Homo-oligomer: A and B are copies of this chain.
């Protein structure tokens, strides 16, 4: 599980890389969140060595890892999925087969892009509602029983005081850092450019997290976008 596409390429194709020594018939599972195009490239190289490569990016944080509750999204040859599932099942309660190599990454990237959009949307809606005179807890309750409901509003609300046990209740410490979200949105952006898919909101969400990182929010949980938008005009 490596931080970037470049690291993964180096680990496989570098001077002392896995490809130099891998035995035929080995099953190689990469849980990095990287560009699906890179996963496909690595799979080709691994296949030339007579081994098998699967991409299996992971979802869920430190807590989920401790309690074996991670989610793995797996891409690769379907015949090999059972073997991967056996191993990954030790760490994760959800091991989902997504299709050909690269689709594990694709599923992860699409989910996180939608997550970023919903989170910023929730932050904007909550902030607007508060300025229009609504009580934040009441507004969250209304959204959650209506069509605005989403994971960011009902499970991970970004407004301090609305929920307990989430980063917004703890000064946005812990959780999933804005930097990591910016990175995943960069991957979504690259994949969208490569496939010529329009992502108007996804692309703007990317830029918003990019700005947040440059303005002191890089290590705060990504739900701190509420705080970022919240600051008041002072004139």
Contacts and interface: CB of A to CB of B under 8 A. Distances in A.
Given A111-B147, A200-B211, 20 more contacts: A98-B138, A98-B142, A110-B139, A111-B148, A117-B117, A117-B121, A121-B202, A128-B188, A131-B196, A147-B155, A150-B150, A182-B196, A189-B189, A198-B214, A200-B229, A203-B203, A213-B233, A215-B215, A216-B234, A218-B233
A196 B192 CA distance: 18
A55 B199 CA distance: 31
B203 A201 contact: no
A163 interface: no
Interface in A91-114: 94, 96, 98-100, 102-103, 106-107, 109-114
13 contacts: A98-B134, A111-B143, A112-B147, A114-B124, A115-B146, A115-B148, A117-B121, A121-B201, A128-B191, A182-B196, A197-B210, A198-B207, A219-B235
A36 interface: yes
Given A99-B135, A197-B131, A204-B200, A147 B115 contact: yes
A232 B96 CA distance: 29
A168 interface: no
B120 A107 contact: no
A106 B118 contact: no
Interface of A: 36, 59, 71, 73, 94, 96, 98-100, 102-103, 106-107, 109-115, 117-118, 120-122, 124-129, 131-135, 138-139, 142-143, 145-153, 155-156, 179, 182, 186, 188-193, 195-208, 210-211, 213-216, 218-219, 229, 231-235
Contacts of A115: 146-148
Contacts of A200: 120, 124, 204, 207-208, 211, 229
Contacts of A120: 117, 200-201
A142 B146 CA distance: 22
B100 A128 contact: no
